[in-house]
Amino acid sequence: MLTLDQIFTYFERTIAQRFLARDLEGLRRCQWALVELVNAAEAADDRESLLRLRVLASKVANHRESLTDD
C-alpha cells in the first residue's frame, strides 16, 4: 500500500523534474492533484499532512509563476 511519505517524496521529485524541464502543463497537473489531496487531508482532520501538502502546492504555484514570468 502506498504511504503518505511515498506520495510526498513522489511530488517533491516530480515537481523538481518538471520545473527543470520547464513543463508548465505537468506542474499544473501536480498542483491540481495536490489541491485534491489538501481537500482530503482537511476532511480527515490530518493537520500534519495538510501542512506538508500546502507547502508542496505553494512550491508548485511559485515554480509555475516563475516560469511564466520568464
Domain boundaries, the chain: 23-69
Confidence of residue 69 (pLDDT cuts 50, 70, 90): confident
For cell 517533491, name the residue. 12
Dist CA 64 CA 50 (whole Å):
21
pTM: 0.90
What's the confidence (pLDDT) of residue 70? Answer: 65
Which segments of the chain does DSSP mark as H helices, in order? Answer: 4-20, 24-43, 47-69
Residue 48 predicted with pLDDT over 80: yes
